[in-house]
């Protein structure tokens, strides 16, 4: 697998894969790698592996990290994020990165 720096760099200029309805800004200029936090894979000050992350615009990243309010439940936001991780992983597999 590619190292963490490469996957984080790979997020730049990509389409958001979280696509939170009514939140997504669809601006690839703001896309970063948004890590999905899953018990047992991260902790205080420790991010999950970069393969456990999604390409996310700044607005969607803020939503799933709880920095902005949305009409969605925490469970809904976790589902949007998880689906974004799966889509991102498929993109990276198609490109031979994962």
Using CA atoms, how far apart are residues 84 and 6, in angstroms rounded to an integer?
Answer: 19
Query: Which of 23, 32, 35, 61 is an active site residue?
Result: 35
35 is catalytic: yes
Using CA atoms, how far apart are residues 96 and 1, in angstroms rounded to an integer?
Answer: 9
> Half-sphere exposure of residue 73, counting CA atoms within 13 Å on the CB side?
3
**Catalytic residues, which ones?**
35
């Amino acid at each position: 697998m590619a190292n963490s720096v490469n996957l984080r760099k790979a997020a730049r200029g990509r389409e958001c894969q979280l696509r939170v309805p009514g939140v997504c800004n669809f601006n690839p200029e703001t896309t970063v790698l948004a890590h999905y936090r899953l018990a047992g894979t991260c902790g205080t000050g420790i991010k999950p592996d970069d393969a456990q992350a999604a390409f996310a615009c700044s607005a969607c990243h803020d939503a799933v990290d709880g920095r902005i309010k949305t009409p969605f439940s925490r469970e809904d936001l976790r589902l949007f994020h998880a689906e974004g991780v799966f889509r991102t992983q498929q993109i990276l597999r198609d490109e031979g990165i994962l």
